[in-house]
């Protein structure tokens, strides 16, 4: 039997959600929302034209820095694409004014805001000038199934190294669910640059993806190669052992 591995993270998340009973309507817009005794009545246009009654509506279309009322123009601080423009060491266009965290719209997360703040404090007050790297920052989406990722994705890697990218991936039923009997799949993927053998990206969809990718991020940041991954002994039975046995 031929078994196809879906190698895109988003499709793995989407299929996993659909297995849990979620209906996903793509290429559709909500034109109108009306409160009715049955619930919220949505009028849709596009691929899923029609109406839909729902219990709740969550709008998750991203966010922008809230710079209103800061009067940055009075201080001569430059704004670029709705965010405070900063150098790598968080300096604004006014050399004595710094900006860290979401207001500079680099990578908007709590650990990045803290790291940028610490680097600023070390530089300005600790006699230890330094800037943090915004590369290989791990992240996770705590959806069901969960997704975790660090480093370049396949599209980014192929754009950077068009002739020397090799991807390794696997999709399998994790041991945990062999016991529960649930039809749950885990997906793992490594992106490798073949000239250097360096692992440029590690990606996963499935149980504990965030926890597992946090550890993988150390290896990617240290410049681990596929050979290093292969030389690492797995923990059996675990999901993470798949990363060191990919062929
Ligand atoms: C719903 C949601 C879920 C999130 N989940 C996660 C997550 O799971 N993991 C993760 O890493 N990140 C998450 N984030 C992102 C994370 O919260 C932010 O990246 C992080 O808080 C940025 O820190 P910050 O200090 O830059 O900004 P903030 O934490 O927003 O702090 C800015 C502060 O400045 C204050 N302020 C604003 N304007 C003024 C003013 N004019 N004068 C004085 N004070 C002012 C605000 O009241 C606020 O207290 C989430 C964000 C949201 C909105």
**Least reliable range by pLDDT among 19-23, 134-138, 208-212:** 19-23
Q: Cβ(170)–Cβ(5) under 8 Å?
A: yes
Which pLDDT belongs to residue 62?
84
In a domain, 19, yes or no: no
In a domain, 66, yes or no: no
Q: Cβ(48)–Cβ(32) under 8 Å?
A: no
Asked if 46 and 112 sit in the same domain, the reply is: no
Asked if 100 and 197 sit in the same domain, the reply is: no
Asked if 172 and 200 sit in the same domain, the reply is: yes
Q: What Rg value do the Cα atoms of the chain yield, rounded?
A: 22
Mean pLDDT for the stretch of residues 39-49 = 97
In a domain, 165, yes or no: yes
Asked if 144 and 239 sit in the same domain, the reply is: yes
Q: 236 catalytic, yes or no?
A: yes
In a domain, 3, yes or no: no
* Mean pLDDT computed over every residue of the chain: 94
Asked if 116 and 171 sit in the same domain, the reply is: no
Ligand 1 atom with minimal separation from the 63 CA:
53
**Burial level of 84, CB count in 10 A (0-12/13-18/19+)?**
buried
| Nearest residue by C-alpha to atom 38 in ligand 1 | 66
Q: Cβ(188)–Cβ(145) under 8 Å?
A: no
**Phi, psi (rounded to 5 degrees) for 222:** -85, 0
pLDDT digits (tens, 9 = 90+) for 171-191: 999 888 888 888 889 999 999
Nearest to 89 by CA among 64, 117, 108: 117
Mean pLDDT for the stretch of residues 33-50 = 97
pLDDT of 136 strictly over 80: yes
Query: Where on the phi/psi map is residue 76: left (φ > 0), alpha (ψ -120 to 50), or beta?
Result: left
Asked if 34 and 88 sit in the same domain, the reply is: no
State which residues form the domain around 50: 30-57
pLDDT of 30 strictly over 90: yes
Asked if 221 and 150 sit in the same domain, the reply is: yes
Which of 108, 138, 139 should be mutated for ligand 1, with most atoms under 8 A from CB? Answer: 108
In a domain, 24, yes or no: no
pLDDT digits (tens, 9 = 90+) for 52-94: 999 999 988 888 999 999 999 999 999 999 999 999 999 999 9
The structural domain count of the chain equals 3
State how far Cα 201 lies from the chain centre. 12
| Nearest residue by C-alpha to atom 44 in ligand 1 | 70
């Amino acid at each position: 039997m031929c078994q196809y591995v879906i190698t895109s993270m988003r499709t793995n998340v989407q299929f996993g959600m659909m297995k849990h009973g979620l209906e996903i309507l793509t290429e559709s817009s909500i034109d109108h929302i009306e409160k009715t005794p049955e619930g919220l009545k949505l009028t849709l246009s596009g691929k899923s034209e029609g109406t839909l009654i729902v219990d709740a509506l969550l709008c998750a279309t991203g966010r922008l820095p809230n710079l209103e009322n800061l009067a940055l123009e009075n201080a001569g601080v430059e704004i670029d694409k709705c965010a405070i423009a900063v150098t790598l060491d968080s300096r604004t266009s006014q050399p004595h004014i710094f900006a860290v965290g979401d207001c500079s719209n680099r990578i908007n997360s709590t650990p990045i805001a803290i790291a940028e703040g610490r680097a600023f404090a070390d530089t300005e007050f600790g006699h230890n000038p330094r800037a943090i790297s915004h590369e290989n920052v791990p992240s996770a989406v705590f959806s069901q199934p969960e997704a975790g990722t660090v480093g370049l994705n396949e599209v980014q890697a192929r754009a950077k190294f068009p002739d020397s990218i090799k991807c390794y991936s696997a999709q399998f039923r994790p041991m945990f669910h062999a016991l529960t009997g649930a039809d749950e799949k885990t997906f793992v993927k490594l992106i490798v640059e073949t000239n250097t053998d360096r692992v440029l990206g590690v990606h996963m969809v499935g149980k504990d993806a965030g926890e597992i990718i946090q550890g993988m991020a150390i290896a990617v940041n240290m410049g681990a190669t596929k050979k290093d991954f292969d030389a690492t002994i797995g923990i059996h039975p675990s999901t993470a052992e798949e990363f060191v046995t990919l062929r």
